A and B are shown apart, each in its own frame.
Chain A
C-alpha cells in the first residue's frame, strides 16, 4: 500500500498570502496524484488532477506540481473562502489518501 504523507497538518494564513502544502508518497506514483478541497459538512471537491492539471471551474490561484514521490499544492493569494481541509490522493496503485492539511484564515 502506498502511504501519502502530507505536511503541514495545519496552517494559519493571512489572506492574500501564498500557501504551500506538500504530499510525499512512500513509493513513486508517477503523476497519478490528485488534490481535493473539503469544507465542513461537504463532500471533497477535486482541485487538481495528475499532479498539475487544472480542473474546469477551479480558481487559477490553485496549482500543483511534482512527480514521482514529491508533490506540492500551491494557493497563490489565499482568499477567505479557501479555508478548508486539503487532501492528496493517489490512483497509481490501489487507492489511498493523505492525512489532510487544515488551512485556516488568520
Chain B
C-alpha cells in the first residue's frame, strides 16, 4: 500500500530555510506528479509546488521566489526548501500525489513546522 511520509525539523528560525522530505513507500516515485501543500492552523489548504515525472517544476506564484522542490528518484523521495521563512510560514506541510490534471489521490499525514526564534 502506498505511503507518503513527511520528515524534517519541526522548528525553524525566522529568516532561515525550511527543509522537508517526503519519502514514498509501497510504490514508485516515477510516473506521478508530487506536490507540497501547506495548512496554517485553523486555515485552509495552500498548494506550494509540484514536480512532474519529467522533472518540470511549477510553484505557487505567491511563494515562487522562495521555494525549491526537487526529487531523488534513487531514494524514492522528494524535497521542499522554503527560504527566508517568517511566522506566516508556520503550518502543517503535506506531500501528495497526483496524475497530471487529476486530484490528489494520496496524502502524507502532514508535519507541523513552526517558525519561531
Q: Which A residues lie at the B interface, using CB under 8 A?
A: 1, 32, 34, 36, 38, 43-44, 46, 49-50, 87, 89, 91-92, 94-100
Contact = CB atoms under 8 A, between A and B. Distances in A.
Given A89-B45, A100-B45, 4 more contacts: A38-B45, A44-B107, A49-B102, A87-B45
B94 A43 contact: yes
Contact of B108 (A1, A43, A99): A43
Contacts of B70: none
B103 A49 contact: yes
Given A96-B47, A99-B44, A100-B44, A43 B110 contact: yes
B44 A97 contact: yes
B50 interface: yes
A98 B43 CA distance: 11
A39 to B, nearest CB: 13
